Structure 1
Amino acid sequence: MKSLDLAVRAASVLLLAQAAVHASPGAVSASKPEPALLSTNDAAPLSTLTTSTVDGDSLAVSDAEVETASIRGANIGGVFLIEPFIKPSLFDQFLSGSNPADIPVDEWTFSAALGKAEARRQLEEHWDTFVTRDHLESLAENGINWIRIPIGYWAFNVTDDEPYVDGQVPYIERLLEWSRDIGLKVELDLHGAPGSQNGYDNSGRRGTPEWLHSRVNVDRTLDVLSKMTGLAAEWSDVVRGIQILNEPSRWKWEVKDIFGFYNEAYDLVRGLAPDVYFMIHDTFLGPKEWPTLVAPRWTQALMDTHIYQMFDNYMVTMNESAHIDMVATMAEDIVKFDRSSIGVVVGEFSAATHDCTKYINGLGRGSRWEGTLQGVTDKPLCPFANCSCTGDYGSNYTEFSGHYKRFLRNYIDAQLDVYDQELVGWFFWNFRTEGAPEWDYLLGVEQGWIPKFPRTAVPKPEVSSSSSGDDESGSAAQSGASRSRLCLGEWACGAVAVLGTVVAASAALAML
């Protein structure tokens, strides 16, 4: 009976996985970049599914080519809804001399602390500089053919009593114009709803979610979707997808109520844009339960799922080999759903397998890795004898060992083997960051742990219980724990089998 109890507990922990994270690299390290230790296929031709270049001029491909291609996308996160871990410098300005309780932790408190005039000044500078045409061209040159643009509701509907500032739409339209010129397709993503749909900072307001507690909030959300879909209709050759809401929490709302909103949103979107992809999030349900979120009458519908392996106490304890093996375990039922129902897009994933990244669990919170995440763990959970957010697990990619870079490449390749080949496609989170290397697509391509396209998969190395031998920092060498760590024994493997798949992650629920 004890083993059964442990299995139930393991299943409970895994079900509490949450995907509330995002990233974007503001300024890449000013030091000279370390030469990439991995092949980045520099000699391979650029993917003909995005753009080609002749005498320095970018040539957009036809709509037909892009529409029939797998979605290979990057999130333009942290721009029109700021998050502390994507651009920490926006929030670090408040740290000196401030009462910790008064330090902003999301866009709501950021704007409230500065006041509308100063918040607008700082945010307009951020909107103007954090994502540029050069960034989009670099993404396209390395095989990206779609971008996902997360947007807070206040860009379209803000009230006088809310601290948020608007003015984002001209900058969004500039992105659409650049995308048209370059040959990128776009998904517009409603990332934050009135009242907060999940209570995470990625909704714009951290704390207790109030979204479905008020019909006023729902009506405002539908108004925002109407305006967002109207924008999509104006740019119909560029905007090919509308995500009606990012990560509404099924832990906070009844699934039937979320589905009721999805149905209302479908009628609204279809009335304005008959052909655009109608994209819904899985609300953190397992794939076997996804049919409860889908109506048979829907057309051009896609399921969005977010897959991370670091927002969970159990997953943080896994060694490198276990993380790679877990990719297939987590994806098995997702692939089955994709083949039997509507298509699936992995709207968020990254190269990270630890939660050391600054502010990744929220500003002012610690990490499971070092055992400092209050309310979640009081002991370090990393798979090593000594747990430290330095070296391979720090924010300075120039300190990454050759061993760790190869692991990152193998981990990304394991994910792309499924997301790129078996599903409709994917969007990496994020296009860039300010000191979160494993979350930075452009940096990953530059350094070689993210492939250019067409890609050549890197063979998976044999992982033994001994050190890998060429680990410069020594930290990655500790990852050769027994293969049984993947399931912590047969009882947990049974729990994983019952769950089918674990999608996205975080026990941050306990902190709300």
Structure 2
Amino acid sequence: MRSVVASLLLALPLLASAWLPGEHKQIVSRDGIDLFNRSNLYEHGLTKRTRDLPKIGDQVKVRGVNLGSYFIVENWMSSTVFSGFGCKTSSEFDCVSSLNNQAKANSDFQGHWQSWISADDFTKMASLGLNTVRIPVGYWFLESIVDSSEHFPQGGEKYLDQAVQWAKDAGLYVIIELHGAPGAQATDPFTGQVNPSPGFFNTYNYDRACQWLEWITNKVHSNAAYSTVGMIGLVNEPVRIGDSRYPNAQSQTDSMREVYYPKAWTIIRNMEDSLNVAKDQQVHIQMMGKAWGSGDPNQYLPDQTFWHAAYDNHVYVKSSSAEVSHQGYLDYTCAENVSGNWPIIVGEWSLSVNSDVEHNSDWDPTNAANKDFYKKWFAAQVMAYEKGQSIGWTFWSWSTSGLNDPRWDFQKGVDAGIILSNIDDAYTIGACS
């Protein structure tokens, strides 16, 4: 089997282009605008671009944002949401538990889902030159797989359907990824819960995750609102080997790659086959690439289902070995070479800086003296994540509340003048010269 898989991996660059944006499926907005067609954009005056988008072959690069804290609220970036509910917790599980009232929790979260994002947000994304949106979702949106001991808000499915419809109307390519897995794949609140020991890595929770994947795959191919969803992520940021918080990470990631990944691939492809979906219309299946540190995602994949693979990497320079200075950050990013698997999308990155200096005046993004640095650093990251094995990026995140830091908020960053409103300018402002 390994020799067969190896030969398939050699052919992957050809297979990987089948259902990425701008290929076999056009992505056209409700107003007839194809955000992956340069001349169409120019004619409609959505941007003031003066040069072609970077491409891989004929493939336009992915330029997008995450809908962080929309379907999985993270208190660090959206503190006003939980405080509005009366929660003094860091995760959704703990918030719902502390409310001790499922009806109130459902009402509170549904109010959040109604107000956090609107159709206008997706239109604005397109107007800023973005063409992709990554939507993090928790397993509890498929309520039939939630155990009675697990406390999460209910009623989210229709809001997911609505958001995907809005993205389609705006002409945006959509990545949906399992951000919060059953049992939690890490100890962080982004999983929707803060388990002292990640509980995802066993057969029971793999099976529940696969039920979720089967459910979302069926939606992609059966619900017209999902027609611009081209990628499904199997699990976000699982434990990493070498992270001191996870002494069992080696065995956990071995289990995930040997048991969960092959089963997930088979579940998705079997659902597509049952719906008679042609191969060139099937979704890309995305895993964290080996650069993430959870092992080689391809190692145990079954050859009969292994096509249209994609990979994810998250690059937060604030946690890197970069010299903590403006020039140090620019030098580090300009030399960045995202590698490990192809095709990679840098699914998360930001303009946040080392925690020791982030509140210092010479790093203050609202200080006019620092704006030139941040614009150049944004440009440098755009260029870094649009070259080599990386086919593009999705910034974390589109919006925040309570954080008041434009380095994490695309809209606030544009308004503050530290994120380019014309992304193509990244190649002309001399960030890496």
Normalised to the residue count of structure 1, the TM-score between the two structures is 0.64
Q: Match for 1:218 among 206, 231, 245?
A: 206
Question: What is the aligned counterpart of 2:77 among 79, 86, 89?
Answer: 86
Partner of 1:447: 416
Structure 1 counterpart of 2:55: none
User: Would the alpha carbon gap of residues 53 and 201 (structure 1) be closer, same or farther in structure 2, given more than 3 Å must change?
Assistant: farther
Q: How far 1:408 sits from its partner (Å)?
A: 1.0
1:124 corresponds, among 94, 110, 116, to 110
1:24-39 correspondence to structure 2 within 5 Å: none
Match of residue 471 from structure 1: none
Alignment of 1:238-253 (within 5 A): 238-251=228-241, 252-253=249-250
**1:171-227 Cα distance to aligned partner (Å, 9 max, x none):** 111112112211111111110011100111101112323334432111111111111
Summarize deviations over 1:427-460 as a string: whole Å, max 9, x none. 0010111223101112222333222345113223
Corresponding residue SS for 1:350? coil
In structure 1, C-alpha distance between the alignment counterparts of 2:345 and 2:45, rounded to whole Å: 35
**Could you tell me the percent identity over the aligned residues?**
24
User: Partner residue of 1:418?
Assistant: 384
- Bigger relative CO (Cα 8 Å, ≥ 6 apart): 1
Could you say if the C-alpha distance between residues 76 and 227 of structure 1 is closer, same or farther in structure 2, counting changes exceeding 3 Å?
same
In the alignment, is residue 162 of structure 1 matched against residue 131 of structure 2? no
Partner of 1:493: none
- 2: distance between equivalents of 1:283 and 1:401? 38
Structure 1 residues 393 and 71, CA gap change in structure 2 (3 angstroms): same
Question: Amino acid of the residue matched to residue 114 of structure 2?
Answer: D
* Partner residue of 1:324 out of 323, 327, 330: 330
Residues matched between the structures, number: 360
The equivalent residue for 1:149 is 135
SS class of match (2:407): helix
Say whether the 8 Å CA contact 1:51–1:183 is kept in structure 2.
no
Between the aligned partners of 2:81 and 2:431, the Cα distance in structure 1 is 39
Gaps of at least 5 residues in structure 1 are 1-45, 57-66, 96-101, 356-368, 370-381, 383-387, 463-512
**Cα deviation, residue 296, structure 1:** 6.2
Aligned amino acid, residue 146 of structure 1 = T
Q: Which residue of 1 aligns with 2:193?
A: 205
Return the letter of the residue paired with 1:169: E
Q: 2:90 aligns with which of 99, 105, 112?
A: 105
| Among candidates 71, 75, 78, match of residue 66 of structure 2 | 75
SS at match of 2:312: strand
Amino acid at match of 2:255: D
On the 8 A contact 2:66/2:136 being kept in 1, the answer is yes
CA spacing shift, 1:447–1:302, aligned 2, 3 Å: same
SS in 1 for 2:425: coil
Q: Provide the secondary structure at the position in 2 that maps to 1:456.
A: helix
Q: Secondary structure at the match of 2:73?
A: coil
Partner of 1:307: 315
Name the structure 1 match of 2:121.
135
Amino acid at match of 1:432: S
How large is the RMSD of aligned CA atoms in angstroms? 3.0
Q: What's the counterpart of residue 98 of structure 1?
A: none
Partner amino acid, structure 2, of 1:427: T
Q: What's the CA shift for 1:51?
A: 5.4
TM alignment of 1:316-465, pairs within 5 A: 318-329=324-335, 331-332=336-337, 334-335=338-339, 337-338=340-341, 342-355=342-355, 369=356, 382=357, 389=359, 391=361, 400-422=366-388, 423-434=390-401, 435-453=404-422, 455-457=424-426, 458-460=429-431
Which deviates more from structure 2 when the two are superposed, residues 263-272 or residues 207-216? Answer: 207-216
Q: Is the 8 A contact 1:190 1:246 kept in 2?
A: yes
Bigger radius of gyration: 1
Change (3 A) 1:53 1:91: farther
Please give the residue correspondences for 1:43-82 in structure 2 after superposition, counting only pairs within 5 Å.
Answer: 48-49=37-38, 68-82=59-73
Do the aligned partners of 2:238 and 2:294 also contact (CA within 8 Å) in 1? no
> How big is the shift at 1:406?
1.2
CA distance in 2, matches of 1:282, 1:77: 21
CA deviation map 1:250-306 (0-9, x unaligned): 333533222121121111112224511110013764599566476666211111000
Q: 1:289-324 CA distances to partner (integer Å, 9 max, x unpaired)?
A: 566476666211111000002236x55x61111112
Contact persistence 1:86–1:436 (CA under 8 A): no
CA contact (8 A) 2:348 2:395 kept: yes
Distance 1:288 1:170, change over 3 A: closer
Distance, in Å, in 1 between the alignment partners of 2:289 and 2:432 is 33
User: Cα distance 1:283–1:104, how it changes in 2: closer, same or farther (>3 A)?
Assistant: farther
Structure 1 contact 47–142 (Cα < 8 Å) conserved = no
Contact 1:85 1:436 in 2 (8 A): no
Q: Where does 1:249-268 land on structure 2 (aligned, <5 Å)?
A: 249-251=239-241, 252-254=249-251, 255-260=253-258, 261-268=260-267
- Residue 161 of structure 1 deviates from its aligned partner by 2.1
TM-score normalised by L of structure 2:
0.75
Q: Residues 454 and 439 from structure 1, CA distance in 2 versus in 1: closer, same or farther, beyond 3 angstroms?
A: closer
The question of whether the paired residues in 2 share the 8 Å contact of 1:250 and 1:283 is answered with: no
Q: Which amino acid aligns with 2:285?
A: F
Task: Confirm or deny: 8 A CA contact 1:444 1:450 kept in the other structure.
Answer: yes
